């Protein structure tokens, strides 16, 4: 009898897991990360609604996705232009857009937020969505540096809240950090891990600690690089070259900062220098703040530590 119950319960849990598989994803924020998350979710068979503040921004987001898919298609289908076009068209057909975040969350399995790295803005968003989303809907933040618990506490569904930290560019980076808070239910965590795998990512699990795993190690390294530059120890170009050729990194710290977005890196450091005032490495960088004050956000504005050709 016990054997029959065990088989039955396993089948039940499997069917529950299958029934609770995430199929529909709402991505709030169609910027660098949100557009990438929407692209990969759609390319792996999920129905996606991408939300941003204006139709003009969403048009640019879709254009960026289309361009990225074109690069992926060339690698998948070599010289078969028809297959490439069909692949891009099929993935794009799974992405719809909306400027109304509340409306876009009414019927969805998962809301992934990838909006500006600002705690108050993220909290206001999730409070509004909490009232509109169905009971089963899971919420997740793609934040680089903010405590998931500080975002989740703006809602009444902390058991259905976690961190899904993707890496830039999402179509290329194989990692997603899945972050749980003490209130995250086991089912929620399992569904987030399963979504990461369904999106063809390698998942790692981490607690809700500052920077999770990668950024906890990356931020001190990159801040040390900018101190080196500020002291005049070496040029940005030589520091980047040294780390690519000496440490095997695909990008040096200044190339990477320009790629991430200096605005976002400033938001991250503003938060950590305020929250951890006694940790020297998190002290604000005058050079970084100067560049951002001048509107030099890196690749996204055509100039950061380096200048870029307008594409």
Ligand X SMILES: NC(=O)C1=CN([C@@H]2O[C@H](COP(=O)(O)OP(=O)(O)OC[C@H]3O[C@@H](n4cnc5c(N)ncnc54)[C@H](O)[C@@H]3O)[C@@H](O)[C@H]2O)C=CC1
Which among 144, 145, 255, 285 is annotated as catalytic?
A: 144
Binding footprint of ligand X, residue count (CB under 6 A): 27
Contact predicate 285/267, CB 8 Å: no
Known active-site residue 144: yes
Pairing relation of β-strands 47-51 and 110-113?
A: unpaired
298 touches ligand LJ3UWUTL (CB under 6 A): no
CA 88 → CA 39, 48, 76, distances in Å?
10, 15, 11
Known active-site residue 165: yes
Q: Which residues pair with 92 in a beta bridge?
A: none
For 232-270, b where at least 16 C-beta lie within 10 A, e where not — what string? eeeebeebbebbeeeeeeeebbbbbbbbbbbbbbbbbbb
Instruction: Provide the 3-class DSSP secondary structure of residue 205.
Output: strand
Q: Which structure tokens are listed for 245?
A: 């050729």
Known active-site residue 98: no
271 touches ligand X (CB under 6 A): no
Binding footprint of ligand LJ3UWUTL, residue count (CB under 6 A): 30
Question: Binding site: which residues?
Answer: 29-34, 52, 68, 75, 117, 122, 144, 168, 300
84 touches ligand LJ3UWUTL (CB under 6 A): no
Known active-site residue 13: no
Distance CA 15, CA 31 (A): 36
Beta-strand ranges (E) seen in the chain are 24-28, 47-51, 95-98, 110-113, 138-141, 161-166, 175-180, 202-207
Residue located via tokens 């900018």? 226
288 touches ligand X (CB under 6 A): no
139 touches ligand LJ3UWUTL (CB under 6 A): no
Residue 38: closest CA among 109, 101, 105, 96: 96
Which among 113, 177, 255, 285 is annotated as catalytic?
A: 177
Part of the chain binding ligand X (CB under 6 A), chosen from 6-14, 111-119, 200-208, 239-247: 111-119
The entry of ligand X, ligand LJ3UWUTL, none near residue 105 (CB within 5 to 8 angstroms by kind) is: none
243 touches ligand LJ3UWUTL (CB under 6 A): no
From candidates 147, 196, 253, 261, binder to ligand X by CB under 6 A? 261
The entry of ligand LJ3UWUTL, ligand X, none near residue 115 (CB within 5 to 8 angstroms by kind) is: ligand X
Q: How far is the CB of 286 from ligand X (least distance, A)?
A: 22
The entry of ligand LJ3UWUTL, ligand X, none near residue 257 (CB within 5 to 8 angstroms by kind) is: ligand LJ3UWUTL
Distance CA 301, CA 306 (A): 11
Give the interface with ligand X as residue ranges (CB under 6 A): 28-34, 51-53, 57, 101, 114-117, 121, 125, 142-144, 166-168, 260-261, 264
């Amino acid at each position: 009898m016990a054997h029959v119950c065990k088989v039955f319960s396993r089948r039940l849990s499997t069917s529950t897991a299958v029934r609770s598989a995430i199929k529909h994803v709402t991505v709030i924020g169609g910027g660098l990360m949100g557009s990438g998350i929407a692209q990969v979710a759609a390319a792996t068979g999920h129905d996606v609604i991408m939300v941003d503040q204006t139709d003009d921004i969403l048009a640019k987001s879709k254009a960026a996705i289309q361009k990225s898919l074109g690069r992926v298609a060339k690698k998948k289908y070599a010289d078969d232009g028809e297959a490439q076009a069909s692949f891009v068209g099929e993935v794009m057909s799974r992405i719809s857009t909306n400027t109304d975040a509340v409306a876009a969350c009414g019927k969805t399995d998962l809301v992934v937020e990838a909006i500006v790295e600002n705690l108050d803005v993220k909290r206001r968003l999730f409070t509004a969505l909490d009232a509109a989303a169905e009971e089963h809907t899971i919420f997740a933040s793609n934040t680089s540096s903010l405590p998931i618990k500080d975002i989740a506490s703006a809602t009444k569904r902390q058991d259905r809240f976690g961190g899904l930290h993707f890496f830039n560019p999402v179509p290329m980076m194989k990692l997603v950090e899945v972050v749980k808070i003490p209130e995250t239910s086991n089912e929620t965590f399992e569904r987030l891990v399963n979504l990461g795998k369904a999106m063809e990512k390698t998942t790692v699990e981490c607690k809700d600690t500052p920077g999770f795993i990668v950024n906890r190690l990356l931020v001190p390294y990159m801040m040390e690089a900018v101190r080196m530059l500020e002291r005049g120890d070496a040029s940005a170009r030589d520091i980047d070259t040294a780390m690519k050729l000496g440490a095997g990194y695909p990008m040096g710290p200044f190339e990477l900062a320009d790629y991430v977005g200096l605005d976002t890196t400033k938001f991250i450091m503003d938060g950590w220098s305020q929250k951890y005032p006694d940790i020297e490495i998190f002290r604000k960088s005058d050079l970084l703040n100067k560049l951002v004050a001048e509107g030099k956000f890196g690749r996204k504005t055509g100039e950061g530590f380096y200048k870029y050709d307008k594409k």
